[in-house]
A and B are shown apart, each in its own frame.
Chain A
Amino acid sequence: MESRTSIDPQTLAKIHGLRLRARHIVEGYVAGLHPSPYQGFSIEFAEHREYAPGDDLRYLDWKVFGRSDKVYLKQYEDETNLICYVALDVSESMTYAGPTAALSKLEYAQSIAAGLSWLVLRQQDAVGLATFDDRVRALIRPAGNPSHLEQLLSVMEAVRPGNKTAAGPIFHELAQRLTKRGVVIVLSDFFDDLASLAAGLTHFRHRKHDVMLLHVLDPAELEFPFRGLTDFVGLEECPAVPADPQIIRSAYLRELSQFRQALERECRRQAIDYFLVRTDQPLDVALSRVLATRQRSVR
């Protein structure tokens, strides 16, 4: 379990560069888990086929080769790799980092996305990436080669947060553009209109995607720990609001809780996996929950 603590946000914040962070996450995660989480993405055996030059020797069926001197490869049900789409919210609200947070929501979400991508690619599945705020900022088609990771990481690192979140319309657009069925993992704070959001998710489901929402929130947003009169300067072009946090705290928490509950309800209704991810949590916790859920759904 020591490995898990080594990938807590505090530690991660000291590591510069998304690639190094991703490596740290994956190594720490792999070292801490038995059996391998790769199986979560593995596919059921279907049949054998003859070896052709260039095939991955790992899939050679040595038992058949020993019995018949013929080189066969294990043929799985889906011959192609699973496709994982990572949708990363890069709106301005994701740049928020509370007083006690080591990482902003965006940094945390980037780390999760990078780690997931790495893990997916390591098992030779395909992973794609979309960054969005009120529009799609970047879209990288899914690919399974290891060099693809570099591209993903460089795109994530190049993100310049800016506008408001408009996840609902974006989900519609992505649903249209991600034609191949796969697993859509959305990392966002979902500070958006719930109805629009629900409509976008419905579109994903309509396209037969498996959808996982990682609701990334800062501890300050969940606990509202402020004291003293405060002028809350809104991100995403919201006006400044003066308030006494101690007086408004309960009402705020009630509003947030209602929103989360509504979002969870909607997810349950559409058979979407919902995870609340706090940015002060160790990252492997978030990864474990995602992968374990995926494993359950595959079986």
Chain B
Amino acid sequence: MSPMLAFWQFGSAGMLGWGMAAALPILIHLWSRRKYRQERWAAMAFLLAALRKNARRVQLEQWLLLAVRTSILLLFVVALADPRSTLLSSWADQRDGQAHVILVIDGSYSMDFRSGDSSRFQIAKKLARQLVADDAQGGAYSLVMMGRPPQVIISDPAFDRDDVLQEIDDLELRHSGADLPATLAEMEAILRRSKAQSFGRGRPSSWHVCFFSDLQETTWGDVTAPDCRAQLARLEPLATWQFIDLGEEGASNLAVARLEIDQPVVAAGRDVQIQADIQSYAGEDRLRQTVEFLVDGARITERRIDCPASGRVTVSVPHRFDTPGEHMVEVHLADDALPLDNRRWLSVPVRTSVRVLCIGGRPMETQYLALALAPQKMNAQHIEVVKAPESRLLDDELIAFDALALANIGRLSRVEAVAIHRFVHRGGGLLVFLGDQVQTENYNQVLVDDTTLRCLPARLTELASIGTYAFDALEYRHPIVAPFRGFPKSGLLTTPTWEYVRLTPLEGAKTALSFSSGDPAIVETQIGRGRCILVATAASPDSIVRGHGSPTAWTALPTWPSFPPLVHEMLRWSLTGRNADRNVSVGDDLTAIVPESESDATILLKGPSGPDERLPIRDEAGERRWVFNRPALSGVYEARLGPMAQHFAVNLDPSEGNLARLDPETLPSQFRHEADSGMREPATAASHDASSYFRWLLGAVFVLLMAEPCLAWLFGRGHT
């Protein structure tokens, strides 16, 4: 095939046979020359002079008319043949025999950006479809969608063009980012398998990779990383490369980057603050942007904000959930070119109250703690404290509580440790106060050393030497003590302590508060979805320093004014993971524990699109749980189990909304090698569809049809 023909492909190539009809005007011209009628003529001198002086012009005009008439027929036939340009025409020359083309389409949600009627993703699909449909040589195709993780749609070379086109049509944009290294790894696997094996019609003889992407820096930034460079270097000799750039410079976007409530566990009837962060990825200020807040689908308020260029604005609105139960908060921005990140959801299971189980090593051990958590004088008890003996730790009813507070428990059995671990792992909050009964070896053994049951953030060592210690807030960096900043008279720093257990924080643990000796006083860490906070001293004055004169309490903390706010902050912090299962990101698993009381074997999950899905309930580590793996779409999911419904919010990663592009010059050589022929503006590329050529050609035919009689008149009768 000649390069010229290779550039064009025809939907109805058979129609080109009618191109022979273009010879008709020439044949008619030649034939008519033989059909001259004779005329006797006297004024020959003038006729000969006219012919002599105008011979060249007459001939030129005749040729021009002939060319116009021939072109009319020729263009009409070509239009009927449905011409299409082969976007990747350069490959036609490179192909020698069977080709294996790997189509890699960027499925990150930035591809939903719309500069016209179509999104980048739709244009990418259209171009990929055109590439396959116009392939007259019948190549084999693989299809990969870049995502997090990448999705290999067609792994082995597919020779059936219709199948490939169907798969391209069925592609749906993911609401996630894209993992370039993982995508390259998948491609490498496909290429190496294709080169090593034979498929169906034999082993391909050439390999080509074609990327359709917006070259977004978030996705392609990794391309300059050493690992990625090495990957690309390995891939370069395996195939020829093509990059279809669908992005554009200067694209701007606003996104809802965060949506939270200031309380980790919300109790009905209590005022909360709903906070939303609006992130600008625009190069210019965006003024008077409307931010809508909705609860359970009903608009509660609207705010107008001025968003500075590349800045972030936090919008906070007060709200009170009057009824306990499942609630869904939603924030809306006015639609822009990338609408996907203009919405964000927050699932808020509202309780009647926050339930805390306090277990003490002695009957009065939790008295101060319970009083601090739920002062009796408060009118609305949004915290329900249940004081119980150690035996309650064996009870599976722990699931009914949001937090568990242990105070001066002497030793814990393995069974108890299992129950505690499971509780925290599920998202419960654990507060552990030490005291004079605590056997440090036992704690270390069952709650630290056994990694499968580890619950504590620090190893317990020995008792500190007796002395008077104050607290050090460590510059109020930690959220537990941060509220004390600016309130030196709150008493936190003046709280005297005479005895404590020295703690050695484990890896990942954070010290919120320390003693003036430098030893940690409060250490916390995340365990599973829950959080454990360990206090090095006692929660009651009942722990006594013995052996040195008169008995002295370990600490004055339980009776100190700083104790109630400190306990509340610890409880709040320990519950931050309480609803973590309800609010996840795209790509994270959706999961929930099913109470033992429910006997159903499946739950019904309703997503933001598509039909309801039945999910099995499985036993995992002694608990019944359902899991929905890696939801690909953002939105609200509802899990229904009998009459009980739980709402889940799946949100996308707002960083993908940053549409900044990678400089094409930083692309590796195999991409830049093809950039000249492959990189096109999306509008240009999109315009290369068959119908437009068809219309242009018919338009040209129409123009020529109009021009022909004018020219004939001008060259003939028009010369009067």
Q: Would A232 and B46 count as touching, CB distance under 8 A?
A: no
Q: Would A232 and B44 count as touching, CB distance under 8 A?
A: yes
Most chain A CB neighbours (cut-off 10 Å) among B40, B42, B62: B42
Q: Would A246 and B716 count as touching, CB distance under 8 A?
A: yes
Q: Would A233 and B39 count as touching, CB distance under 8 A?
A: yes
Kindly identify, within residues 683 to 720 of chain B, every residue whose CB is under 8 Å from any CB belonging to chain A.
Answer: 715-717, 719-720
Q: Would A254 and B41 count as touching, CB distance under 8 A?
A: no
B38 cross-chain contacts in A, Cβ below 8 A: 230-231, 233, 240
B50 CB to nearest A CB, Å: 4
A251 cross-chain contacts in B, Cβ below 8 A: 50-51, 53-54, 719
Given contacts A96-B41, A231-B38, A233-B41, contact A254 B50 (CB under 8 A): yes
Q: Would A256 and B44 count as touching, CB distance under 8 A?
A: no
B54 cross-chain contacts in A, Cβ below 8 A: 248, 251
Q: Would A241 and B36 count as touching, CB distance under 8 A?
A: no
B720 cross-chain contacts in A, Cβ below 8 A: 249-250, 253
**Bound-state Cα–Cα, A228 to B32, Å:** 9
Q: Would A255 and B61 count as touching, CB distance under 8 A?
A: no
Q: Would A246 and B36 count as touching, CB distance under 8 A?
A: no
B719 cross-chain contacts in A, Cβ below 8 A: 247, 249-251
Kindly identify, within residues 80 to 106 of chain A, every residue whose CB is under 8 Å from any CB belonging to chain B.
Answer: 92-96, 105
Q: Would B715 and A231 count as touching, CB distance under 8 A?
A: no
Is B35 in the interface zone, CB < 8 Å from A? yes
Hey, what's the 0/1 contact readout for A212-253 against B, CB within 8 Å counting as 1?
A: 000000100100001011111111101011111011111111
**Bound-state Cα–Cα, A240 to B39, Å:** 9
Tell me the nearest residue of chain B to A92, going by C-beta.
B42
Tell me the nearest residue of chain A to B50, going by C-beta.
A251
Tell me the nearest residue of chain B to A192, going by C-beta.
B45
**Bound-state Cα–Cα, A242 to B54, Å:** 14
Is A191 in the interface zone, CB < 8 Å from B? yes
Tell me the nearest residue of chain A to B54, going by C-beta.
A251
**Bound-state Cα–Cα, A235 to B48, Å:** 13
Q: Would B40 and A247 count as touching, CB distance under 8 A?
A: no
Q: Would A248 and B37 count as touching, CB distance under 8 A?
A: no
Is B58 in the interface zone, CB < 8 Å from A? yes
Is B49 in the interface zone, CB < 8 Å from A? yes
Q: Would B37 and A228 count as touching, CB distance under 8 A?
A: yes
A253 cross-chain contacts in B, Cβ below 8 A: 720
Is B33 in the interface zone, CB < 8 Å from A? yes
Q: Would A96 and B46 count as touching, CB distance under 8 A?
A: no
A189 CB to nearest B CB, Å: 7
Q: Which one, B36, B40, B47, contacts A229 given CB within 8 A? A: B36
Is B1 in the interface zone, CB < 8 Å from A? no
Q: Would A247 and B41 count as touching, CB distance under 8 A?
A: no
Is A275 in the interface zone, CB < 8 Å from B? no
A259 cross-chain contacts in B, Cβ below 8 A: 46
Given contacts A247-B58, A251-B50, contact A231 B37 (CB under 8 A): yes
**Bound-state Cα–Cα, A95 to B61, Å:** 34
Given contacts A229-B35, A230-B36, contact A248 B42 (CB under 8 A): no
**Bound-state Cα–Cα, A241 to B40, Å:** 10
A91 CB to nearest B CB, Å: 9
B149 CB to nearest A CB, Å: 74
Q: Would B39 and A252 count as touching, CB distance under 8 A?
A: no
Given contacts A229-B36, A231-B37, A247-B715, contact A256 B43 (CB under 8 A): yes
A252 cross-chain contacts in B, Cβ below 8 A: 43, 46-47, 50
Tell me the nearest residue of chain A to B39, going by C-beta.
A230
Q: Which one, B36, B42, B717, contacts A93 given CB within 8 A? A: B42
B58 cross-chain contacts in A, Cβ below 8 A: 244, 247-248
Q: Which one, A189, A235, A250, contacts B41 given CB within 8 A? A: A235
Q: Would B44 and A229 count as touching, CB distance under 8 A?
A: no
Given contacts A96-B41, A233-B40, A256-B43, contact A248 B35 (CB under 8 A): no
B42 CB to nearest A CB, Å: 4
B363 CB to nearest A CB, Å: 124
B59 CB to nearest A CB, Å: 10
A104 CB to nearest B CB, Å: 10
A166 CB to nearest B CB, Å: 13
**Bound-state Cα–Cα, A270 to B322, Å:** 123
A105 cross-chain contacts in B, Cβ below 8 A: 42
A240 cross-chain contacts in B, Cβ below 8 A: 38
Most chain A CB neighbours (cut-off 10 Å) among B40, B41, B51: B41
A5 CB to nearest B CB, Å: 28
**Bound-state Cα–Cα, A230 to B288, Å:** 81
Q: Would B33 and A96 count as touching, CB distance under 8 A?
A: no
B40 cross-chain contacts in A, Cβ below 8 A: 96, 233, 235
A251 CB to nearest B CB, Å: 4
A103 CB to nearest B CB, Å: 14
A187 CB to nearest B CB, Å: 15
Kindly identify, within residues 604 to 631 of chain B, every residue whose CB is under 8 Å from any CB belonging to chain A.
Answer: none
A285 CB to nearest B CB, Å: 22
B335 CB to nearest A CB, Å: 64
Given contacts A247-B58, A247-B61, contact A96 B42 (CB under 8 A): yes
Given contacts A229-B32, A230-B37, contact A191 B43 (CB under 8 A): yes
Most chain B CB neighbours (cut-off 10 Å) among A233, A247, A249, A255: A247
Q: Would A248 and B47 count as touching, CB distance under 8 A?
A: yes
**Bound-state Cα–Cα, A95 to B41, Å:** 10
B716 cross-chain contacts in A, Cβ below 8 A: 244, 246-247, 249
B46 cross-chain contacts in A, Cβ below 8 A: 252, 255-256, 259
B42 cross-chain contacts in A, Cβ below 8 A: 92-96, 105, 189, 191, 218, 221, 234-236
Q: Which one, B33, B35, B49, B717, contacts A255 given CB within 8 A? A: B49
**Bound-state Cα–Cα, A232 to B48, Å:** 10
**Bound-state Cα–Cα, A237 to B426, Å:** 119
A238 cross-chain contacts in B, Cβ below 8 A: 41, 44-45, 48
Most chain A CB neighbours (cut-off 10 Å) among B33, B715, B716: B716
A247 cross-chain contacts in B, Cβ below 8 A: 58, 61-62, 715-716, 719
**Bound-state Cα–Cα, A163 to B81, Å:** 63
A218 cross-chain contacts in B, Cβ below 8 A: 42
**Bound-state Cα–Cα, A241 to B53, Å:** 14
**Bound-state Cα–Cα, A242 to B36, Å:** 7
B197 CB to nearest A CB, Å: 70
B495 CB to nearest A CB, Å: 114
Q: Would A246 and B717 count as touching, CB distance under 8 A?
A: yes
B53 cross-chain contacts in A, Cβ below 8 A: 251, 255
10 cross-chain CB contacts under 8 A: A94-B42, A189-B42, A191-B43, A191-B45, A228-B37, A241-B44, A242-B33, A247-B58, A247-B715, A249-B720
Given contacts A256-B43, A259-B46, 16 further A-B contacts (CB under 8 A): A96-B40, A189-B43, A191-B42, A230-B39, A231-B36, A231-B38, A234-B44, A240-B38, A241-B47, A242-B36, A244-B62, A248-B51, A251-B50, A251-B53, A251-B54, A252-B43
Interface residues of B (CB under 8 A from A): 32-33, 35-51, 53-54, 58, 61-62, 715-717, 719-720
**5 closest A-B pairs by CB:** A250-B719, A251-B50, A246-B716, A96-B42, A93-B42
